[in-house]
């Protein structure tokens, strides 16, 4: 059974359940909270993040259509939500399903279990790419590898060698993703814009030019990675 058929099967199940809507910046689940239900993204993007001791936001992941969260709680690996979950896009609509009902539904259908396995393997690869980006000492490298991760995980091809990042990111968001200051993130992004690696502007999404990006990445194996997260 193809992924598309499995997703259609999942949608038929989800459409029998209620939905909730959230505005950008609205908290869906607080860190440490025991959720009352599992959430599945119908529309929009949800951000998972942690807070440092100093109160700085540390993004962990972005969830889009059909993603189930909070995963560790849903599948019984954690008693509470490990992170904060917040509406990241302007309008977010989520299905709400009782945890036991959702898990039982998935467990009885191998094609959905396999789809979830694929999702978690991609998440693991994405996390390792994020870790690789953060381990670099130079600000420019942190940003480059983070852009590469975003291109694979939240990008769509709009032209040959051109990827549009489907997230409404600010300079502060890039700073939070990389551990840099907002000023440094803005400076490095501007350098990449002048170098032809990225294009952005007010009211337009970030567009990456892959050929240029691959030329400046320092790891050829990572640069050649084309898997879709």
CATH of the domain at 80: 2.60.120.10
Same structural domain, 99 and 20: yes
- Considering only CA atoms, which of 143, 2, 22 is closest in space to residue 89? 22
- Considering only CA atoms, which of 158, 129, 153, 86 is closest in space to residue 217? 129
Q: Residue 217 and residue 172: Cα distance in Å, rounded?
A: 23
CATH of the domain at 167: 1.10.10.10
Single pTM value for the model: 0.86
Average pLDDT over all residues of the chain:
90
Extract the tokens encoding 176. 């939070």
Q: Where are the extended beta strands (E) located within 1-142?
A: 19-23, 27-29, 38-43, 46-51, 57-63, 68-69, 84-87, 91-97
Q: What is the pLDDT of residues 193-207, one digit of tens each?
A: 999 999 998 888 899
Q: What is the pLDDT of residues 58-107, one digit of tens each?
A: 999 999 999 999 999 999 999 999 999 999 999 999 999 999 999 999 99
Domain boundary at 108, 136, 157, which? 108
Q: What is the dihedral of CA 209, 211, 216, 222, to 10 degrees?
A: 100
Q: What is the pLDDT of residues 110-163, one digit of tens each?
A: 999 999 998 888 888 888 888 888 888 999 989 998 998 898 888 889 998 899
76 φ/ψ sector (left φ>0, alpha ψ -120 to 50, else beta): left
- State the number of CA atoms in the 13 A half-sphere of 155 facing the CB: 24
Average confidence (pLDDT) over 5-26:
94
Total domains present in the chain: 2
Q: Is the pLDDT of residue 227 over 50?
A: no
pLDDT of the residue at 107: 94
């Amino acid at each position: 059974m193809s992924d598309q058929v499995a997703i259609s099967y999942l949608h038929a199940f989800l459409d029998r359940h209620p939905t909730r809507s959230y505005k950008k910046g609205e908290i869906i689940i607080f860190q440490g909270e025991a959720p009352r239900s599992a959430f599945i993204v119908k529309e929009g993007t949800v951000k998972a993040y942690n807070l440092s001791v100093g109160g700085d936001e540390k993004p962990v992941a972005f969830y889009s259509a059909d993603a189930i969260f909070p995963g560790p709680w849903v599948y019984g690996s954690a008693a509470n939500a490990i992170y904060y979950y917040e509406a990241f896009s302007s309008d977010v609509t989520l299905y709400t399903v009782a945890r036991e009902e959702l898990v039982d539904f998935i467990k009885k259908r191998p094609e959905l279990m396999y789809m979830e396995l694929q999702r978690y393997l991609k998440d693991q690869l994405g996390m390792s790419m994020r870790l690789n980006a953060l381990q670099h000492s130079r600000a420019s490298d942190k940003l480059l590898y983070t852009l590469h991760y975003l291109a694979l995980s939240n990008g769509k091809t709009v032209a040959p060698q051109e990827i549009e990042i489907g997230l409404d990111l600010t300079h502060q968001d890039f700073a939070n993703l990389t551990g840099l200051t907002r000023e440094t993130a803005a400076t490095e992004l501007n350098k990449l814009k002048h170098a032809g690696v990225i294009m952005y502007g007010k009211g337009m999404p970030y567009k990456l030019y892959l050929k240029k990006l691959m030329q400046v990445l320092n790891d050829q194996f990572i640069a050649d990675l084309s898997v879709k997260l």
